């Protein structure tokens, strides 16, 4: 039998929750994966540990100051670069086969595009990339003949449920949501929600931004848009179902009334491993859910009065053009302001809605338009928050 080819990886966002989980998977399969390059932000100590363990050839950090700090402590021979051009270099690193895109937020877009344009397969966790520029990203994937493998657990589930089926037989995507920490909380008390309450997610352990997005259900809204672009399905055929146990990771319904679901414990390593190994499966040895202990799986309709972010995302998806870009940027600014105690929990959808209402999209649809819409949305929302306009 020929020796299995080693897949060479670049990880964007290696110090984050997805990045660390990816390295845990890689560590389990040293004969299958090799780390070529890593990119983090400002967590120099953790990057140094990752360098010692995985021996990347090149590492990128946020800025020059952090690059200097890393150079002082690092003992391995490694090239250290920084800034936006550095992230793009990591994404297009010549010996890399696959890029794990796991930076949080809009900062992930340009490196992901760089990866695609340099012919790399992409394992995509950074959903904001697809929300901001789904049409462009999907076009680039096709033109460059590379693979886009979803890491988001719901999209990995849908991807798995679609395997072996025809697109024209698909009738609906059933996207599950945990419902977040405020599923059962009275809406009248939402005014007093603090960042620490919203950061306390019941089933998933993730980075700060996505945890707040899960509490507002914007995460599910972003995922509706992500699924729309990834699977070429209109938002009207994507139904969100609240499923507090997070065991059913999502489902696909076919025209004959059959529904195929993908299940597993709520742990991102399963989805990460599938993206890395597709179409094969790694012997990850994840425990399977204990159904006798769980006993019941529940399903509810999302409460759009409590979670208006979900409706805003559906509406932005329906409007298309640069509305999803504006939604995403406004959300990033509002979440940041909430985490910094500048605005309340229910102000998040308020400012996003205002940005969507005031947005006048340009006619074209290229990266320049995306960038303009993103910057406009960030600027106006920052200004509205500052002046409470």
Give the residue with the Cβ less far from Mg ion, 131 or 381: 131
Part of the chain binding ligand NAD (CB under 6 A), chosen from 199-207, 293-301, 323-331, 333-341: 199-207
Cα of 375 vs its chain's centroid, Å = 20
Instruction: Copy the structure tokens of residue 290.
Output: 């204990």
Give the residue with the Cβ less far from ligand NAD, 255 or 340: 340
Binding partner of residue 193 among Mg ion, ligand NAD, none, CB cut-off 5 to 8 Å per kind: none
CB of 175 to Mg ion, least distance (A): 9
Angstrom distance (rounded) from CA 24 to CA 28: 7
CB of 152 to Mg ion, least distance (A): 4
Part of the chain binding Mg ion (CB under 5 A), chosen from 33-41, 44-52, 114-122, 150-158: 150-158
Binding partner of residue 264 among Mg ion, ligand NAD, none, CB cut-off 5 to 8 Å per kind: none
Give the residue with the Cβ less far from Mg ion, 61 or 224: 224
Angstrom distance (rounded) from CA 354 to CA 358: 6
Q: Which residue is nearest to ligand NAD (CB)?
A: 16
CB of 20 to ligand NAD, least distance (A): 8
Give the residue with the Cβ less far from Mg ion, 137 or 369: 137
DSSP H stretches of helix in the chain: 17-28, 44-54, 64-73, 83-91, 109-117, 127-143, 153-162, 195-198, 208-216, 218-231, 269-277, 291-294, 308-319, 323-339, 347-358, 367-387
Place of tokens 């309709």: 301
CB of 107 to Mg ion, least distance (A): 19
Listed residue (349, 310, 311) closest to 333, CA to CA? 349
Residue 103 binds to ligand NAD (criterion: CB under 6 A): yes
User: Which position among 128, 140, 152, 226 is part of the footprint of Mg ion (CB under 5 A)?
Assistant: 152
DSSP H stretches of helix in 163-217: 195-198, 208-216
CB of 62 to ligand NAD, least distance (A): 6
Listed residue (326, 356, 312, 381) closest to 389, CA to CA? 381
Q: How many residues bind ligand NAD (CB under 6 A)?
A: 26
Residue 19 binds to ligand NAD (criterion: CB under 6 A): yes
Give the residue with the Cβ less far from ligand NAD, 131 or 254: 131
Q: Cβ atoms within 10 A of the Cβ of 43, count? A: 17
Place of tokens 């980075």: 207
**Binding residues among 248-287 for ligand NAD as defined by CB under 6 A:** 268
Residue 41 binds to ligand NAD (criterion: CB under 6 A): yes
Q: What are phi and psi of 170, to 5 degrees?
A: -75, 130
Q: Cβ atoms within 10 A of the Cβ of 301, count? A: 9
CB of 208 to ligand NAD, least distance (A): 6
User: Which position among 78, 104, 198, 282 is part of the footprint of ligand NAD (CB under 6 A)?
Assistant: 104
Angstrom distance (rounded) from CA 240 to CA 302: 7
User: Which position among 9, 67, 125, 312 is part of the footprint of ligand NAD (CB under 6 A)?
Assistant: 125
CB of 12 to Mg ion, least distance (A): 18
Instruction: Copy the structure tokens of residue 364.
Output: 């074209």
Are the C-beta atoms of 114 and 86 separated by less than 8 Å?
A: no
Residue 221 binds to ligand NAD (criterion: CB under 6 A): no
Residue 210 binds to ligand NAD (criterion: CB under 6 A): yes
Q: Among positive and negative, which fits the CA dihedral 315, 320, 326, 329?
A: positive
Give the residue with the Cβ less far from Mg ion, 110 or 153: 153
Are the C-beta atoms of 12 and 87 separated by less than 8 Å?
A: yes
Using CB under 5 A as the criterion, which residues of the chain lie in contact with Mg ion when the complex forms?
A: 152-154
Using CB under 6 A as the criterion, which residues of the chain lie in contact with ligand NAD when the complex forms?
A: 13-19, 40-41, 62, 87, 102-104, 107, 125-128, 152, 204, 206-208, 210, 268
């Amino acid at each position: 039998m020929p020796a299995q080819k080693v897949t060479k990886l670049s990880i964007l966002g290696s110090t984050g929750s997805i990045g660390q989980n990816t390295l845990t998977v890689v560590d389990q399969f040293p004969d299958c994966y090799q780390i070529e390059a890593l990119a983090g932000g400002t967590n120099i100590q953790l990057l140094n540990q990752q360098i010692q363990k995985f021996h990347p050839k090149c590492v990128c950090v946020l800025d020059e100051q952090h690059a200097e700090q890393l150079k002082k402590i690092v003992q391995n021979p490694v090239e250290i670069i920084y800034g936006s051009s550095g992230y793009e270099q990591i994404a297009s690193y010549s010996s890399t086969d696959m890029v794990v895109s796991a930076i949080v937020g809009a900062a992930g877009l340009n490196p992901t595009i760089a990866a695609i344009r340099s012919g790399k397969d992409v394992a995509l966790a950074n959903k904001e990339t697809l929300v901001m520029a789904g049409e462009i990203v999907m076009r680039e994937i096709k033109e460059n003949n590379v693979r886009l493998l979803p890491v988001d657990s719901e999209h990995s589930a849908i991807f798995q449920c679609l395997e072996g089926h025809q697109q024209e037989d698909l009738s609906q995507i059933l996207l599950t949501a945990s419902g977040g920490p405020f599923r059962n909380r009275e809406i009248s008390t939402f005014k007093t929600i603090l960042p620490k309450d919203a950061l306390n997610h019941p089933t998933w352990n993730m980075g700060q931004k996505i945890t707040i997005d899960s509490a507002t259900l914007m995460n599910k809204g972003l995922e509706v848009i992500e699924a729309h672009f990834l699977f070429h399905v209109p938002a009207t055929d994507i139904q969100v179902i609240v499923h507090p146990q997070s065991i059913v990771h999502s489902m696909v319904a076919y025209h004959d009334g059959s529904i195929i679901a993908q299940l597993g414990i709520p742990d991102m390593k399963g989805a990460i491993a599938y993206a890395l190994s597709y179409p094969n499966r790694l012997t990850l040895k994840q425990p399977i859910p204990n159904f006798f202990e769980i006993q019941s799986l529940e399903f509810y309709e999302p409460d759009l009065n409590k979670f208006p972010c979900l409706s805003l995302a559906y509406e932005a998806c329906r409007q298309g053009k640069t509305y999803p870009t504006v939604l995403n940027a406004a959300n990033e600014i509002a979440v940041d302001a909430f985490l910094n105690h500048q605005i309340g929990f229910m102000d998040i959808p308020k400012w996003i809605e205002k940005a969507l209402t005031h947005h006048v999209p340009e006619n074209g649809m290229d990266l320049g338009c995306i960038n303009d819409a993103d910057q406009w949305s960030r600027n106006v929302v920052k200004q509205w928050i500052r002046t409470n306009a």
